[in-house]
Amino acid sequence: MPQTDFFKSVTQITCSTLNLQKAITDLYRFLQDRVPVDAISFDTYDDEKQILHNIISMHKGEQRLVADLKVNDDLHELFMADANNDSLLSDYIPNSAELEISEQVTKRFSSRIFSGVICYLRIEGEILGVAGITRDVPNAFSNEEVELLSSLTVPLTIALVNALRFDELKAVKDQLQDDNKFLQRELAKQAGETVIGANSGLKTTLNMLSQVANTDVPVMLLGETGVGKEVLANALHRMSPRRDSPFITVNCGAIPESLVDSVLFGHEKGAFTGAGQQRKGRFERANGGTLLLDEIGELPLDAQVRLLRVLQEKKIERVGGDTEIPIDARIIAATHRDLNKLVEEGKFREDLWFRLSAFPVVIPPLRERKDDLPLLLAHFLRSCSAKLGISPPPVTLEGVDNINNYHWPGNVREMHNVVERQIILSQGEPLTFASLATSSKKSQPAPEPSVTIDIADSTDALIPTFPVSPASFPTLDEVTRMYIEKALQHCKGKIEGTDGAAALLGINPSTLRHRMRKLNITFGKKR
More confident residue, 502 or 213: 213
The model's pLDDT over 278-337, given as tens digits with 9 standing for 90+, comes to 889 999 999 999 999 999 999 999 999 999 999 999 999 999 888 899 999 999 999 999
- Of the listed ranges 134-148, 155-169, 324-338, 499-513, the least confidently predicted one is 499-513
Q: CB–CB of 98/104 below 8 Å? A: no
Q: CB–CB of 230/336 below 8 Å? A: no
Which amino acid is it at 289?
A: G
The predicted model gives 128-157 an average pLDDT of 88
pLDDT category at 159 given cuts 50, 70, 90 is very high
pLDDT category at 201 given cuts 50, 70, 90 is confident
The model's pLDDT over 466-482, given as tens digits with 9 standing for 90+, comes to 434 444 445 667 777 87
Q: Is 384 left (phi over 0), alpha (psi -120 to 50) or beta?
A: alpha
Residue 130 pairs in a beta bridge with 43, 120
Measure Cα distances from 336 to 250, 282, 364, 456 in Å. 15, 22, 12, 36
Domains of the chain listed by start with CATH number? 3-166 (3.30.450.40), 195-364 (3.40.50.300), 367-474 (1.10.8.60)
> What would the DSSP string read from start to end of 27-51?
HHHHHHTTS--SEEEEEEEETTTTE
Residue 395 pairs in a beta bridge with 431, 453
Q: CB–CB of 351/359 below 8 Å? A: no
pLDDT of residue 110: 58
The answer to pTM > 0.75 is no
Mean predicted lDDT score pLDDT of the chain:
81
Residue 117's nearest CA partner among 75, 74, 151 is 151
Phi, psi (5° rounding) for residue 168? Answer: -65, -45
- Of the listed ranges 101-105, 242-246, 260-264, 344-348, the least confidently predicted one is 101-105
pLDDT of residue 458: 29
More confident residue, 164 or 80: 164
pLDDT over 80 (residue 181): no
d(CA 477, CA 469): 17
